[in-house]
Amino acid sequence: MRIVIAGASGLIGTDLTATLRSQGHSVMALVRREPSGPHEARWDPASLSLDPSILEGADAVINLSGAGIGDRLWTKKRVDVLVGSRLKATRTLTQAMASLSTPPSVFLSQSASGYYGDTGSTIITEDHAAGTGFLADLCVEWEETAHLAPAGVRVVTPRTGIVLSPKGGALGKLLPLLRLGVGGPLGSGRQFWPWISLPDVSGALSFLLTADVEGPVNLAGPQSADVNTLTSALATALHRPAFLKVPGPILKLVMGKMAQEMLLSGQRMEPAVLTRSGYTFEHPTVDSAAAWVADSL
């Protein structure tokens, strides 16, 4: 397949690009700077600018664009960046596709588990309603923008959980503490975090390029885990203790609203569509994913 990826330089994009190329696909990365070779093309999503001819002949477009949700505190300025970087990028891609006589057959446009808000211990599948809060509202608008793709394009919106990786992502700040033996649960530790290993994110996205699936898809491991279980598995794999619990009020004091929605809330998300469609997880359990992270450090 000929695949165009927006957001190819991020954690997921880098791994996915390597995975797709190893499978024999041709991957074109959209970049905001001067292209460094024939596998890159320039665009400017901030001004909704993309030459539609770049998408000409593409079989699929994958949209992973968006400023890091947890990189900085959610000031008003940062919130504007988080929203704009997602909606403008998605709109730029759908507008370019709409101008083609033959648009790509599939559009995978990233969403997130935050779509569901805080759902406690309720098991969540793709037909569950949207929750409340900044992340939920953002995901709803993000997905709606993706569905502006022209008729005939199969639109898939993967609602990705917390990506377990030896570097970067949601564990970027937690892993160093766990390796030092001073990490531990955040808040009560009983909130469910929908986790998934980085290889399974790339594997699932690759699978969805050709699977008979459209609409929302939960990208999470098949074994649910609360924060206590997840941090314990990671600490065990690293041969370290995990006893330092950080109280919720402290997190809220330091991080504000961001702490409540990102760290203290949770979703017990089940990958119903992936499982039903026949995707086989490389890391189906928390322990196997944690062991992979530890072995990859």
Q: Is 297 exposed, middle or buried (0-12, 13-18, 19+ CB in 10 A)?
A: exposed
Q: What is the pTM of this model?
A: 0.96
Residue 152: closest CA among 98, 109, 204, 205: 98
In this predicted structure, what is the pLDDT of residue 232? 94
**Phi, psi (deg, nearest 5) at residue 268:** -90, 75
CA geometry: angle 7, 284, 209, nearest 5 deg: 40
- By the 8 A CB rule, do 219 and 196 touch? yes
In this predicted structure, what is the pLDDT of residue 180? 87
In this predicted structure, what is the pLDDT of residue 244? 82
pLDDT tens digits for the chain (297 residues)? 999 999 999 999 999 999 999 999 999 999 999 999 999 999 999 999 999 999 999 999 999 999 999 889 999 999 999 999 999 999 999 999 999 999 999 999 999 999 999 999 999 999 999 999 999 999 999 999 999 999 999 999 999 999 999 987 777 778 888 998 888 889 999 999 999 999 999 999 999 999 999 999 999 999 999 999 999 999 999 999 987 888 899 888 888 889 899 999 999 999 999 999 999 999 999 999 999 999 999
